[in-house]
Amino acid sequence: MKETIKSMQAIAEPFLAFLHWEASSGVILLACAILALIVANSPLAESYEHLLHYPIAVGAGEYVLEMGLLHWINDGLMAVFFFVIGLEIKREFLYGELRTYSAMLLPVGAALGGMLVPAAIYAAINLGLPTFGGWGIPMATDIAFALGIMTIAARQAPLGLVVFLTALAIVDDLGAIVVIALFYNTDLTVSALLLGLVAVAAAFLLGRFRVRFLPAYMALGFVAWLAFLKAGIHPTIAGVLLGLSIPAAADPENSLLHKLEHALEPWSAYAIMPIFALANAGVAISLATFDMASPIFLGILAGLCLGKPIGIFGAVFVLCKVFGLQLPGNATKSQLAATGMLGGIGFTMSIFIASLAFTDSAMLDLAKISILSASILSGILGTAFFKLQSLFGGGETAQQ
């Protein structure tokens, strides 16, 4: 009995730590986004832009890689962020909410509904327009913001609902990664791609034999990152693949997977994501960047604020009716609807996809403003629904 309890605690500890980091980092992320907006609309705007595009070279002799600071953040630092996502995804499938078919059915179904419906709404609004390529933007959920707001606004919500939102957001991340890999890479260089895939395969081989020598994974990860960068595939894909290659163990506490996630999660939550927000959320607000009649604005707003809750709620409702499933913690329909609205907080991953979808700076700025507006509105609506539910109570469970 004691061994069983100890095993359950070992499995729960990484998840609870993950919840703590993600929920608390949401406040810092919001502060950095606001600061970036203030700076971009102040006399410091020119210096801000100059800093973001300041060239930084790494290497020596013939082997020099030079990129602007913004590219180092989006291609370099974010590769570490995606590496942590890879670790989180593997942990969820091995020890967490996604470890069994029955457990994963609801969050995976909800995530798929929450990705497909927003993408379809954006695509319908932008059909035949040059802005159509942004269809992947409203597919993502920002786990830090969503969990942060839920822990503040829904203190009475069942823990099972928090676990559900976490699993949903992780599957969302996985879906966004697949979309980036398949649809937002152009002009592939086959030789570099093959080199990157060989490095990734070698990392998975090491993981298969449970090799715990971290420098070997770091070296292979760097080769894969550089090869993918040269190949025309976004180098952050190397990060998530490397994360998935890290070996786990029967005892989660002693696995390299757990040790790396525990060590890197604070850096990802409190350093990398805030730096990304500072570098990417700064948009000069004008009539051009706040065009509420633009197909980009309408597509992103409708996709995140309407598509997300409709897709999530609709998928869960159908799965509960067809398979007789029940929402974890016996959550009510109103709590599920509020959770779906929080799923419309895109921010980090949505802005990241927007930076890949739009090369035109005006379109990108408009997309960022649209994402920020939709995320704020989704947060307000989700909070309001949770508050109303706690005031008036009631509501049927999703199975009823």
The enclosing domain of 166 has a CATH number of 1.20.1530.10
Angle, nearest 10°, between helix axes 295-302 and 361-392? 30
Q: Does 191 reside within a domain? A: no
Instruction: Give Cβ neighbours of residue 136 (< 8 Å, ≥ 6 apart).
Output: 119, 176, 179, 180, 183, 184, 353, 357
CA torsion, ordered 165, 167, 172, 177, to nearest 10 deg: 150
Q: Does 387 reside within a domain? A: yes
Q: Does 211 reside within a domain? A: no
**pLDDT score of 252:** 67
**pLDDT score of 123:** 97
Cα–Cα distance measured from residue 101 to residue 208, given in angstroms and rounded to the nearest whole number: 23
Q: How many CA atoms are closer than 13 Å to the CA of 9, on its beta-carbon side?
A: 6
**pLDDT score of 399:** 47
Q: What is the 3-state secondary structure (H, E, C) of 4-56?
A: HHHHHHHHHHHHHHHHHHHHHHHHHHHHHHHHHHHHHCCCCHHHHHHHHCCEE
Q: Is the pTM of this model over 0.95?
A: no
* 63 DSSP assignment: E
Q: Does 204 reside within a domain? A: no
Comparing CA positions, the residue from 382, 348, 159 lying closest to residue 236 is 348
How many residues in the chain?
A: 400
Q: Which domain holds residue 86?
A: 2-184+234-392
Alpha helices per DSSP H over 135-272 = 143-153, 159-183, 190-208, 214-231, 236-245, 256-267
Instruction: Give Cβ neighbours of residue 191 (< 8 Å, ≥ 6 apart).
Output: none
The answer to whether 344 and 309 are in contact (CB under 8 A) is yes
Number of domains present in the structure of the chain:
1
Q: Does 398 reside within a domain? A: no
Q: Does 274 reside within a domain? A: yes
Comparing CA positions, the residue from 97, 122, 149, 117 lying closest to residue 317 is 117
Question: Which residue bears the tokens 């291609």?
Answer: 75
Question: Which residue bears the tokens 């971009």?
Answer: 40
Q: Does 176 reside within a domain? A: yes
Per-residue confidence in pLDDT tens, the chain, 400 aa? 444 444 445 545 555 555 555 556 777 888 898 999 999 999 999 999 999 999 999 877 777 888 999 999 999 999 999 999 899 888 888 877 777 777 788 889 999 999 999 999 999 999 999 999 999 999 988 887 888 788 776 666 677 788 788 888 888 888 888 898 888 876 778 899 899 999 999 999 999 999 989 999 999 999 999 999 988 888 988 999 999 999 987 676 778 898 898 899 889 888 999 999 999 988 888 766 678 889 999 999 999 999 999 999 999 999 988 888 887 667 788 888 889 999 999 888 899 999 999 989 889 999 999 999 999 999 999 988 888 876 666 545 444 4
Assign 232 to helix, strand or coil.
coil
Q: How far is CA 167 from CA 74, 96, 109, 263, 360, in A?
A: 25, 8, 11, 21, 34
Q: Does 208 reside within a domain? A: no
Cα–Cα distance measured from residue 241 to residue 243, given in angstroms and rounded to the nearest whole number: 5
**pLDDT score of 397:** 47
